Each structure stands twice: as structure tokens, then as C-alpha cells.
Amino acid sequence: MSQQAVNGVPCRGKVLTLDNMNPNVRRVEYAVRGVIVQRALQIEKELKEGVKKPFTEVIKANIGDAHAMGQKPITFLRQVLALCSYPDLLEDNKFPEDAKQRARRILQACGGHSIGAYSASQGIECIRQDVARYIEKRDGGISSNPDNIYLSTGASDAIVTMLKLLVCGEGRDRTGVMISIPQYPLYSAALADLAAVQISYYLDEDKCWSLDVAELKRAINAARQHCNPRVLCIINPGNPTGQVQSRQCIEDVIRFAKEEHLFLMADEVYQDNVYAEGCKFHSFKKVLFEMGAEYSSTVEMASFHSTSKCYMGECGFRGGYMEVINMDPEVKAQLTKLVSVRLCPPVPGQALLDLVVNPPQPDEPSYNTFMKERTAVLAALSEKAGLTEKIFNTVPGIICNPVQGAMYTFPRITLPQKAIDKAKEEGLVPDMFYCMRLLEEEGICLVPGSGFGQREGTFHFRMTILPPTEKLKIVLQKIRDYHMRFTQEFS
């Protein structure tokens, strides 16, 4: 601690320094907004200041932020939110009657009839009821109890909250949490923050990033030497790998969770984003209940959904929910207490979620426009998923699995040894070196595969399929040319 005097006043230095701050926070990494994105922002600034570059704009294909990539909001969702935000508009005849009805119903449920009021910590009750009805309909009538629904600040908040509840113990007793590799870095970041033990299980790239129970067994057996595995996290459809799990695979996973006495966390934020023929979204809840009482009354689970993905892409509203199943009632009381500390999720996000789970019905005036817009977004994503796979697979040195669902592709890239050596020389991991050069030369911002985890000695990048189709074609062409140039330069 420094004791130097400044103007005669003894200075003891900062109370909070890198050396004495929470070491768990220092260990947190979040590649999706990491150094490469910071450099992309800097380049954007330089372009604005007139610095000459080989490109005129930075295309940020690093994050699943649909509206930032130009996707238009769904009219009905924004109409109701506009009405909720400024209720004087309820007198305006430009708004359809069904939008007004929804807004009135939501406002009726808000404190002081304003979305500016705090709500109940678990979320507005009538919205939780709508969520439960949505789940029942989605899952072919399997019942859902609104008491088991917790509205959240996006899915991220609910995922972190669940992990907080689950992590305990010291030394070899510390909770181990199984996450896929590659993974969405929220998970590794949250585990670092909570000082939980990360148990990595690898998805099988050669089988379209599928999940194999034998690999789960390998990972859990190895982890038992140093921690207490208690949680299994699954992302379906997958981020960053874009795979959609088969029903059989989900059944196998549930059986494994029961046998190994694990709490299941099913991240299903991409449940409407399924594109590949023969693939279908199966919720873990539905499969669990179809497996019979032996499973449905015992396996503990939380599943997550969000307003940020699917056809909505309303990331900024921070809407989401989780449903908990078979949770011990005393723990559930603790969960309710824990969420009450943060008062409540954003009420506009809750209102938006309500519209997602309770969209316009065929006999309502907004139905046709709503369906047209929804279908157009999903059809465009489906087209872009196919296009991405097709174009990448024409490039020697890039292998791309089908983008069956979600919003990303995670192609494997072959990097020449000289490039790997050069990266080392510059103190960068090889796929970061590759992505940084792509950013500097072409203005395209991707995330290196190392930010998500990958098998030793393999290299990837993650790219979203969100840019508008014509722009995406240019991006793919530019990556293709860059990859060939890069390979030639280092061969």
C-alpha cells in the first residue's frame, strides 16, 4: 500500500485494486463482447473520424442481436408496448382494437396502472398465467403451474439465479456444473463468478455437434475426482453450434440426469429457431413428462426462455422466464426470496413477454399482419442458415455443419502452421489472430472459437446469420476471399 503524501496529505492508495478485488470477477471472461469487439468499436470510431480503411463499415456478426443487424420489430408487439408506455394513445384510432385490449389488460395488472411501477418479484401474476398456458399449449396439454414460473431480466438473469441457488461446498465437495463445449460463455462466466467447478463435455462436431451420453459419462466420472457434480446444462437449439437435439437424445439426457442425480437446466431460448428438414424442437419438459411418472415426478429441472431470440429479437427489453419443476418447496421459497432482492424484472420486458406467449389469435384484427411478419423473419433466417452452410463449404479449409437451428454457425477452419507460429509470436491464440486480421482487413467482426471452447488443436469462429440476406452474401464472400488469402500468405 502506497504511503506517499500528496500536498502534505498522506495517500494510502486505492482501497480497491486489481490485487485485492474479488478474484472470481477477475477470472470472468465473456468472448462475445471481448477484445475483438472493443477493437471493432474503435475501428468504427476511426471510420467516423475519416480514417481510410479497406472498407466503409464494420459488420458486427459477433452477437445474436437481431435488431442491431437491421431486423424490424414485429408491429403488434411494439403497438402494445407503445400503448402501455403512453396510455393516452388508447384514444388514438390508428391502433387496432386487440392491441388496445392487451395494453389495457397489462396496465390493469400494473401498480397504479403504470408500467413504471415495480411488479411482484416473481413477475406480474396474469403474465405468469399466460406463460403457463403457453407452455401447456406448446407441450400438448402437459400442465404448467403459474407458481412455478419466474419472470426474469432476459434468460441470463434466470440462469445466473439458478446457478447461485445450486452452487455450494468446499474443496472436493464444491458443486460441479456440466456445460457443453463449445458453450455459450454466459455459463463459463457465471461459473467463474460463483467459483463453481466447470465440467466440460464435448459436442461431437463430426456428428453435427450432437450430444452423446457416453461423453457425459466420461466427463462426470473424471470430474468426480475433484468436485461434486450436481448440475447439467443443455442448450437446445444450440449456441454457438446451431444443432437441434433429437427427441431420443433428450430422453437419453434425462435418463442420465436421473441416474446421476443431477439438476437439469434446459436453455431453450431458440425454441422457434429450427430450420433444417427433419428437425423439430422438443422441450425438455414435454419429453420428461412423456417418459412417465418415474421421471416426471423426480427429475428436478429449470427451463428458460427469452424475448431476445426466435422471431422477436427484442434483446433490449430484457424479457424472459424460467419454469421450475420438481423443486423442493423450501428451496423454492428461497428462490422467491432471492429474486425479491432485485425487486422485479423490467415491467416493459414482462409486458413484451406476455405478447410473445399470448400472440394475436386468428379471429383478432392483428392476426394476419402478425403472422406475416413472424413467418417472414423465420423464413429469412432459414434461408440464411442454408446459404451460410452452402457457401462456407465451398471454401477449401473451412468445414461447416448444417445450421439446424438458433442463429449461429461455428465452422472449423484449418490454419497453416506458420500462422499458428505467427499468432504465438504476437501472444494471441491462433483463431483470435485470424479473426483480428479479418476485422482489420475486411471490417467483419466474428468471435474466435477459443471464446466458446473447442477441442485442443482445432480452430473455429462463430458468426451470426443475422445480417440481411444481401449483406450476408457479401460477408460470406469476403470471408471466403480472406480465408484463401490468409492460407496462401502463411503456406
Ligand X SMILES: Cc1ncc(COP(=O)(O)O)c(C=O)c1O
Residue 177 CA from chain centroid, whole number: 17
Q: Which is nearer to ligand X, 99 or 235 (CB)?
A: 235
The CB-of-11 to ligand X minimum distance in angstroms stands at 42
Least separation in angstroms between CB 307 and ligand X: 7
User: Using CA atoms, how far apart are residues 82 and 304, in angstroms rounded to an integer?
Assistant: 26
Q: Which is nearer to ligand X, 186 or 196 (CB)?
A: 186
Interacting residues toward ligand X by CB under 6 A: 64, 154-156, 184, 186, 235, 239, 267, 269, 306, 308, 315, 320
In whole angstroms, the minimum distance from the beta carbon of 483 to ligand X comes to: 25
Q: At closest approach, how far in Å is the CB of 277 from ligand X?
A: 23
Nearer to ligand X, 159 or 420 (CB): 159
CB of 154 to ligand X, least distance (A): 3
Nearest residue to ligand X on Cβ basis: 154
The nearer residue to ligand X, 269 or 445, going by C-beta atoms, is: 269
Measured between alpha carbons, how far apart are the two ends of the chain, in Å? 51
β-bridge partners, 267? 235, 304
Q: How many CA atoms lie within 13 A of 214 on its CB side?
A: 2
Amino acid at 314: E
Residues 210 and 30: their CA atoms lie apart, in Å, by: 24
| Distance separating alpha carbons of residues 342 and 339, to the nearest angstrom | 6
State the DSSP string of 235-252.
ESS-TTT-----HHHHHH
- Least gap, CB of 181 to ligand X (angstroms): 14
**Residue carrying the nine cell digits 403451474:** 145
**β-strand 398-399 against 461-464: which pairing, if any?**
unpaired
Contacts of 480 (CB under 8 A, 6+ apart): 391, 392, 394, 395, 398
Closer to ligand X at the Cβ: 47 or 208? 208
Give yes or no for a contact between 186 and 29, defined as CB atoms under 8 angstroms apart: no
Looking at the Cβ atoms of 128 and 437, the one nearer to ligand X is 128
> Pairing state of beta strands 398-399 and 412-413?
antiparallel
Q: How near is the Cβ of 33 to ligand X at its closest, in Å?
A: 11
Nearer to ligand X, 64 or 453 (CB): 64
